[in-house]
Structure 1
Amino acid sequence: MHSLILRDARLVPVDSPTPTEPMDVLVEDGRVVEVGPTLHRPEGVEEVRADGRWLIPGLWDQHVHLAQWTLTSGRLDLAGARSPEDALHEVRVRVAEYPDLPVIGWGHRSAGWEREVTVSELDAVSGETPVVLISGDGHHAWLNTVALLHLAMPVRDSVVREAEWFAAYSRLSSLVGNDGTSSEAYRRTLDHAASMGVVGLVDFEFSGGVPEWQEKWAEGCDLLRVRMATYAEGLDDVLSRGLRSGDPIIPGDDRLVMGPLKIISDGSLNTRTAWCCEPYGDAYKLEYPSGQPNLSGAELRELLRIAHTSGLEVATHAIGDAAVAEALASYADTGARGSIEHAQMVNRGDVKEMARLGIRASVQPAHLLDDRDLTERIWGERSARCFAFRWMLDDGVDLVLGSDAPVSPLDPWLAMAAAVHRSGDEREAWHGEHALTPLEVLRASVDGAGSVRVGSLGDLALLDHDPLQAADSPADAAAHLRQVEVAGTWVAGRPVHSAL
């Protein structure tokens, strides 16, 4: 454990009043042991001068796909593609430039395109170069025939969706190698997260599980706190190791711990596979007019039952309102504990049920910036029930924020700003009745920690600006949050970032 003393830091009042004048903060053995003016510095304790900067508990990203986010920097960026032709042009250019390298694209939003795509048209611009274009929501991929064969999938003329794609993703390294997810690459990603004040994250990657994280930890990825989730495919391994949520994966190190069982119970908005109570606005084009669940009710309850009796929390992906309702019914029936991940469209009664059951809402506010226009088009007036953060807080739901990186950037300040303003451009707030205050989004970003006080973990972020600075409007408050700069970050008192 590390020790330090921070001189003259202004304590941000996260959950209780704090002194108005700067304080010294002493951290020993990973915890805050004293707060006050002009504290004595014990021998051998590092001294850091905060010079009146603002001190908060360190930030958490509660939903990250760490390997995919790490890989994104080396992928073909298709976020700007407005049509299949735009994407095909970018692929043609990349193949011409690097004909011997596979093309891995990321970020296109085909739900906004006017037609479906085909494998044959991708074959026509790529030849023998494998091409995998992953949608911006991560729920489907457009592959050419060479890539389909390489990843041992049946040849077809359409995209690969949902469960079939999730299973294939784990084989992608056989096509592109592991350079993008090496320990060195992971460390760069973690360094960048620390520079934004992040001290911990929940990793929902389709990974190699416990052995892979143990290896990366030993190779320099022991920077932040990590909760490692497992999927059903890795559940037997986790259970055979006797791991329960919160148990250290490295004995004696409480920074890398077992997280929840992750279940993907429905699809996504972009693919029209999120399971809804009513049909989509363009249901006439869909095989399943209201989307569909990925598991039957019995299958979902059995997974929750196994996890609960084995001491694991459950993180259930549920985007459509029908999926949210079924997930909550499954929690109620089994007694399982954990979260609804995304909860993108909800009914008010289900929000109240979430609060009654003590199930967290793990949400990603930056998604509303990307999904605003599509939601209005295909869910219509139901958009009033989307990203319903105000309902959640008012009804007593434990709300936590994340990014779902790489679907949105691993950037807690972007997430907070999106929840405060609910607009990413010059337009008015989208359903501003669900907007939150800067204090509310900060509370939802610190993993339940309150104002820095004696007994707090030494997981701290020192800011150049007051995140709760008074603003004339939500738009101004959001702009201020996006401009906050982090001077230093500590995990258990250990420095993980410094711009001092």
Structure 2
Amino acid sequence: MADDASAPAPELTLARVRLGAGGPLVRLRVANGVITHVVPDTEAGAGGEQVLDLDGRVLLPGLWDAHVHLAEWASARHRLDLAGTTSARAVADLVRDRAGAPGDGTVLYGYGFRDGLWPDAPHKELLDAVSPDRPIALVSADLHAAWFNSACLALVGKGDHPTGLIREHEAHEVLSALPATPTEVLDGWIEDACRAAAARGVTGVIDFQFGDTVGDWERRSAQFRPAVRVSAAVYPSHLDTAVKRGLRTGDEVGARGALVRVGPLKLFTDGSLNTRTALCHDPYPGLEHTDGAHGIEQTSPDELVRLMRHAAAHGIEPAVHAIGDHANTVALDAFEAVRCRGRIEHAQLLSPQDLPRFAQLGVVAGVQPRHATDDRDVADRHWAGRTDRAFAYADLLAAGARLEFGSDAPVSPLDPWLAVAAAVSRTDDERPAWHPEQRLAVPDALVAAARGRRLVRVGDPADLVVVDVDPLDADADTLRTMPVHATMTNGRWTHGPY
């Protein structure tokens, strides 16, 4: 059993620390997990108090990753890395190097391929040629597609699948049918992943992992104290159970008190850009006059409203996945019909008339700035002529929307500084900024990365991050690699030399 969750957090004073980016030197006292005093550093502290001299480093509100798939991210850290591959053939070459002896019947997992710009198509025959016996299961970077070889297709009862490339709901079904990682192994990976997140200044996450996420975190919290706060999403298949239990968004669950809480209800309107299944008003180039010309509708508008209304009536706020402009219109229409609080996840392509509706309806825009830099080339091809309103963070902010940054890990790494840098620079390579008019100022990016928290104030939870460089003085490269000196969650150090 891990440490006693009921034990109070230690009391201490942080001295000679700068209060926020560009802020003054202060002394800050923490007791019982709460900030109790903030005074100019010239004032002496009480005798006998524990004082930590931070030597002029910068103190910021703790950062959040407002959209992760923790089990997927933790698992991806142990899988064949397919990021950066430029063709199906290149992926097959990586698989050949890792597949091992022909007699190895365990599943080889890979993660991170993006086929939207490849010159060749993923096909089971390519994988069969390099690994005819060992099952191969490769997951796309956006989690909306799976590429299997014939041995793996047979393992899940899909031996007659023509290509081995499976998308959307069917992809989730076949991946779920594969042998599961033992619970104790996966939980250990997740505990390590939470510690790694804390090392980058993260004090909380919204975990959108598919399945019984609340139940999984109730189990984990009895085994270990997570290094971050966790808001555990509810999926429609578990909504009735949550309602019967009387669970509401924000309720504490599990053995770690306030560290694990019930999150939002996750719903889907469409697919993704890379798979050309994001639901758009205009057709995808080259797909005109086909059934999938405009993407796919995952949930009908009537069913979306029904589910949102049912959840909201029982205190569970919805989080609606919407990527294409049509999908975002449908999601906003549903929020207008139900009149509930909630979130839209991704909001990647927006119609101009929908921009002010986020603020009008009180809907949070949960966005992932690394997607803008990762997907700029795919967007230029498949959303040609519309990218001035893609990943439109400055326009959303100007329209009064509340932005909250996430990574969608493992789609991009669980590191909020990558999101801040992408939002500020709109590039992650040597190319000029992509649609620089949508860049955010550093202070606004930091607020979005802290889930709306702008200031460190008396009475706030002691969720804090100490960095070695003032973000206002940092260039894009320094923001990406920001040296994090220490992280505190709920008054306890979760990273650092203390």
> Shared fold by TM > 0.5?
yes
TM-superposed deviation, 1:405: 0.4
- 2:141 maps to 136
In the superposition, relative to structure 1, how do residues 92 and 393 fare at CA in structure 2: closer, same or farther (>3 Å)?
A: same
Alignment-mate amino acid for residue 232 of structure 1 = P
In the aligned structure 1, how far is the partner of 2:77 from the partner of 2:184?
A: 12
Contact 1:53–1:465 (CA under 8 A) maintained in structure 2: yes
1:385 is the counterpart of 2:383: no
1:107 is the counterpart of 2:112: yes
In the aligned structure 2, how far is the partner of 1:302 from the partner of 1:232?
A: 11
1:117 is the counterpart of 2:118: no
In the superposition, relative to structure 1, how do residues 289 and 46 fare at CA in structure 2: closer, same or farther (>3 Å)?
A: same
- 2:12 maps to 4
- Any runs of at least 4 consecutive aligned residues in structure 1 with deviations exceeding 4 A, and if so which? 175-180
Alignment-mate amino acid for residue 9 of structure 1 = V
TM-superposed deviation, 1:407: 0.3
Q: CA RMSD in A?
A: 1.9
Contact 1:102–1:175 (CA under 8 A) maintained in structure 2: no
In the aligned structure 2, how far is the partner of 1:153 from the partner of 1:330?
A: 36
Correspondent of 1:165 among 149, 165, 171 = 171
Deviates more, 1:270-279 or 1:452-461: 452-461
Normalised to the residue count of structure 1, the TM-score between the two structures is 0.93
- 1:474 maps to none
**Which whole-Å deviations, capped at 9, do the CAs of 1:298-322 have from their partners, x for residues lacking one?**
1111111111111011111100000
In the aligned structure 1, how far is the partner of 2:223 from the partner of 2:132?
A: 39
1:151 is the counterpart of 2:159: no
In the aligned structure 2, how far is the partner of 1:39 from the partner of 1:274?
A: 58
- 1:349 maps to 353
Identical pairs, percent: 39
1:497 is the counterpart of 2:495: yes
Alignment-mate amino acid for residue 8 of structure 1 = R
SS in 1 for 2:198: helix
Contact 2:230–2:260 (CA under 8 A) maintained in structure 1: yes
Aligned pairs for 1:242-281 (under 5 A) are 242-250=246-254, 253-281=257-285
In the aligned structure 2, how far is the partner of 1:208 from the partner of 1:325?
A: 29
TM-superposed deviation, 1:359: 0.4
- 2:4 maps to none
In the aligned structure 1, how far is the partner of 2:481 from the partner of 2:130?
A: 42
Contact 2:89–2:126 (CA under 8 A) maintained in structure 1: no
**Which whole-Å deviations, capped at 9, do the CAs of 1:410-441 have from their partners, x for residues lacking one?**
01001000010101111111000000011110
**Which whole-Å deviations, capped at 9, do the CAs of 1:124-178 have from their partners, x for residues lacking one?**
3322211111011110001123222323446302311111222333344x25545
Contact 2:66–2:405 (CA under 8 A) maintained in structure 1: yes
TM-superposed deviation, 1:214: 1.5
In the aligned structure 2, how far is the partner of 1:97 from the partner of 1:176?
A: 21
TM-superposed deviation, 1:222: 2.5
- 1:32 maps to 35
Correspondent of 1:398 among 402, 417, 435 = 402
- 2:5 maps to none
TM-superposed deviation, 1:121: 3.4
In the superposition, relative to structure 1, how do residues 116 and 218 fare at CA in structure 2: closer, same or farther (>3 Å)?
A: same
TM-superposed deviation, 1:285: 9.0
Alignment-mate amino acid for residue 171 of structure 2 = W
Deviates more, 1:160-169 or 1:366-375: 160-169
TM-superposed deviation, 1:93: 2.1
In the aligned structure 2, how far is the partner of 1:298 from the partner of 1:177?
A: 39
Contact 1:186–1:221 (CA under 8 A) maintained in structure 2: no
Contact 1:209–1:234 (CA under 8 A) maintained in structure 2: no
Contact 2:194–2:226 (CA under 8 A) maintained in structure 1: no
TM-superposed deviation, 1:41: 4.0
Aligned pairs for 1:55-454 (under 5 A) are 55-96=59-100, 99-100=103-104, 101-153=106-158, 155-158=160-163, 159-172=165-178, 174=179, 176-178=181-183, 181=186, 183-250=187-254, 253-284=257-288, 287-454=291-458
Alignment-mate amino acid for residue 432 of structure 2 = E
SS in 2 for 1:249: coil
Alignment-mate amino acid for residue 272 of structure 2 = S
SS in 1 for 2:420: helix
Query: What is the total number of aligned residue pairs between the two structures?
Result: 486
Deviates more, 1:391-400 or 1:78-87: 78-87
**Which whole-Å deviations, capped at 9, do the CAs of 1:68-116 have from their partners, x for residues lacking one?**
1001121111113211111112222222358513111111111111233
In the superposition, relative to structure 1, how do residues 438 and 156 fare at CA in structure 2: closer, same or farther (>3 Å)?
A: same
In the aligned structure 2, how far is the partner of 1:487 from the partner of 1:398?
A: 28
Alignment-mate amino acid for residue 31 of structure 1 = V
Contact 1:8–1:52 (CA under 8 A) maintained in structure 2: yes
TM-superposed deviation, 1:354: 1.4
- 2:3 maps to none
In the superposition, relative to structure 1, how do residues 421 and 80 fare at CA in structure 2: closer, same or farther (>3 Å)?
A: same
**Which whole-Å deviations, capped at 9, do the CAs of 1:424-478 have from their partners, x for residues lacking one?**
1111110000000111100111122232121121001111111122x6xxxxx32
Contact 1:5–1:41 (CA under 8 A) maintained in structure 2: no
SS in 1 for 2:312: helix
Unmatched runs of 5 consecutive residues or more in structure 1: 472-476
In the superposition, relative to structure 1, how do residues 306 and 396 fare at CA in structure 2: closer, same or farther (>3 Å)?
A: same
Alignment-mate amino acid for residue 215 of structure 2 = P
TM-superposed deviation, 1:403: 0.3
Normalised to the residue count of structure 2, the TM-score between the two structures is 0.93
In the aligned structure 2, how far is the partner of 1:92 from the partner of 1:362?
A: 38
In the aligned structure 2, how far is the partner of 1:273 from the partner of 1:252?
A: 39
